[in-house]
Structure 1
């Protein structure tokens, strides 16, 4: 076993046949910065040809979660200070890492225990074997800061049953472990008190059994997701063509649940909602994850360089914390007929791949 350095933000080591990557920034729920992405990428590159490493595991340090997402406070600082080159470098490196995880020649096991959101979905959601627990809280919450889901999140959302992709993309709602399995964001439910034994089995298994078969020995059936019971009204509303029509349909349904979601959407950034709706639907028709990442990259770079809502959303939620964002436009009713068009058509200064 190789020993890590305690101060490293990603602990990289091997245990038996297992190459382990542990995000080690628990005070920030392991939020990703460029240095962490670089470390993960370098380790994965090194292990491709390392015959001693047969399986890779990605998890997070601490009790709160695997990864709360990207470091958006740093993103805010870069944009407002004109350091756009750093922002571009971050997203290009992150998306390249997401694609590498999805295409990796050896099995990657991701443990999305606790909070796993935004950039954390980019780490966990594209692994070969995706594990959740009773503590898991998964989400793509980007619309809460006037932004749009990325890191391949639209690829996963676009393949969820029915219109749950639009629902979770627009609302930024949180999935339980059982929800994540139902929606296709995870494969297995393993109780958190069995994770240590699972790691040991993957690292030191004595037979050639594949990692998926080993995980099945620890997999349990969670309490069923409650989402199927809501699918009818969610599909009915979120199949509408525009954000305004979705909200109107929710209001017309006349139920407490639908009204609450309509109220939620009316408080979020109208532009972010329109761009997200467009992105999820585009991703549904795309051929692979790389195409979805390129689609997201166009939209993300548009927000970074062309539209004020991302900076304003981070300011209101995380910097000044006044919870009073001034969106542009301010209301859903003010959105144009194809409000996602400019972001969809944007051509970034530097290509993603």
Structure 2
């Protein structure tokens, strides 16, 4: 690979001992499309056998976002038109997520700025995950009629207590302190020190030691302080209705905000998400979770809530989605079960010997 490859929306270049991958679509908050995903896979394939590349650094162009997710416009047009388009995007995206998680050389993800959905997929499974004071992380899918994907349920299921379930059902956003506390990131490095960190890695320095050298206290973790009421509301709950009932019984502002967020989200997505996170708690590999994600997203493409959720939140921005069905009570167990049934064309990812829990 040449010293600089400009594929317009992905920059892949050598910087000393570092193979540097930059998602370069700042006007769209570095949202991933199919060409970007394939360009990143090509770079990773070439660098794997290049002895001059010791470490891969993954970052985003601009100062607003690392990666705000997948290309939501493509998903919407696919949901109202040809589902095969989005399913192809997800197949390749999940392959990239698994590749980054299993990469034989250290991957350092600099999740500076907005990091949501697909951004979590490419960043939060890396060997070393860095956030800055500008970082905002979230899996906000239930707000658009979808369930967390890109292996996000696996990460959320392994957060302390029930913090991950809370984030999944409320589409909650976290800053650097909570990102580290919840296990979505490893270190906080001030944005102004990232360039020096990369320069240091380019000398061939050991990533784990080097990143720690630049790391600073991430600051407060509000979710850690809220752990008591969050665990009380979510632990052992088998239905979203039960979660909401428990939250409503806590006469404090924050649980009230959680009730409002859950009430605004898509009922079907909420019920599928709760089950997905619960099932992920027993998984040992990212591939297992990504196969579940592909089943769920494929089914959501056929459900009216996905197109409607994207319309209300992203396209028309009226924030008034008309969910079908409109209440939790109308979503029965059989409807939820159908989302998890095997597909005729399952996602095929070759598992490697290292379990996800060992890798992390």
Does the pair score TM above 0.5?
yes
What stretches of structure 1 of length at least 5 have no aligned partner?
Answer: none
Please tell me whether the aligned partners of residues 151 and 286 of structure 2 are also in contact (alpha carbons under 8 angstroms): yes
Q: Which residue of 2 aligns with 1:281?
A: 278
Please tell me whether the aligned partners of residues 108 and 130 of structure 2 are also in contact (alpha carbons under 8 angstroms): yes
Q: How does 1:176-325 map to 2 (within 5 A)?
A: 176-205=175-204, 209-239=205-235, 240-305=237-302, 307-325=303-321
Spell out, residue by residue over 1:232-255, the C-alpha distance to the aligned partner (whole angstroms, 9 max, x if none). 111111121101111111111122
CA distance in 1, matches of 2:260, 2:53: 50
Q: Are 1:166 and 2:162 matched, yes or no?
A: no
Question: For residues 40 and 350 of structure 1, do their structure 2 counterparts lie closer, same or farther at Cα, with a shift above 3 Å needed?
Answer: same
**Relative to structure 2, which stretch is displaced further, 343-352 or 175-184?**
343-352
Q: Are 1:41 and 2:37 matched, yes or no?
A: no
CA distance in 1, matches of 2:78, 2:341: 24
Spell out, residue by residue over 1:284-327, the C-alpha distance to the aligned partner (whole angstroms, 9 max, x if none). 1012111011111111111113x111111111111222222111
What stretches of structure 2 of length at least 5 have no aligned partner?
Answer: 350-360
Please tell me whether the aligned partners of residues 79 and 306 of structure 2 are also in contact (alpha carbons under 8 angstroms): no
Q: Which residue of 1 aligns with 2:355?
A: none
CA distance in 2, matches of 1:327, 1:348: 28
Q: Which residue of 2 aligns with 1:330?
A: 326
Instruction: Please state how far the C-alpha of 1:334 moved relative to its aligned partner.
Output: 2.3
CA distance in 1, matches of 2:219, 2:320: 38
Instruction: Say which SS state the counterpart of residue 109 (structure 2) adopts.
Output: strand
CA distance in 2, matches of 1:203, 1:279: 40
Question: For residues 204 and 351 of structure 1, do their structure 2 counterparts lie closer, same or farther at Cα, with a shift above 3 Å needed?
Answer: closer
CA distance in 2, matches of 1:281, 1:339: 17
Spell out, residue by residue over 1:170-221, the C-alpha distance to the aligned partner (whole angstroms, 9 max, x if none). 111111111111001111110111001001000124xxx4111111110111
Q: Which residue of 2 aligns with 1:138?
A: 137
Please tell me whether the aligned partners of residues 130 and 187 of structure 1 are also in contact (alpha carbons under 8 angstroms): yes
Please tell me whether the aligned partners of residues 178 and 224 of structure 2 are also in contact (alpha carbons under 8 angstroms): no
Q: Are 1:342 and 2:338 matched, yes or no?
A: yes
Q: Which residue of 2 aligns with 1:26?
A: 26
Aligned-residue RMSD, C-alpha: 1.4
Instruction: Please state how far the C-alpha of 1:336 moved relative to its aligned partner.
Output: 1.8
Please tell me whether the aligned partners of residues 112 and 133 of structure 1 are also in contact (alpha carbons under 8 angstroms): yes
Q: Which residue of 1 aligns with 2:65?
A: 65
Instruction: Please state how far the C-alpha of 1:346 moved relative to its aligned partner.
Output: 4.5
Q: Which residue of 1 aligns with 2:353?
A: none
CA distance in 2, matches of 1:231, 1:102: 28
Instruction: Please state how far the C-alpha of 1:333 moved relative to its aligned partner.
Output: 2.9
CA distance in 1, matches of 2:259, 2:334: 20
Please tell me whether the aligned partners of residues 297 and 352 of structure 1 are also in contact (alpha carbons under 8 angstroms): no
CA distance in 1, matches of 2:142, 2:344: 21
Instruction: Say which SS state the counterpart of residue 321 (structure 1) adopts.
Output: coil
Instruction: Please state how far the C-alpha of 1:350 moved relative to its aligned partner.
Output: 4.3
Please tell me whether the aligned partners of residues 152 and 296 of structure 1 are also in contact (alpha carbons under 8 angstroms): yes
With normalisation by structure 2, the TM-score equals 0.93
CA distance in 2, matches of 1:62, 1:95: 25
Instruction: Please state how far the C-alpha of 1:228 moved relative to its aligned partner.
Output: 1.5
CA distance in 2, matches of 1:154, 1:264: 19
Q: Which residue of 2 aligns with 1:84?
A: 83
Question: For residues 348 and 254 of structure 1, do their structure 2 counterparts lie closer, same or farther at Cα, with a shift above 3 Å needed?
Answer: farther
Please tell me whether the aligned partners of residues 187 and 218 of structure 2 are also in contact (alpha carbons under 8 angstroms): no
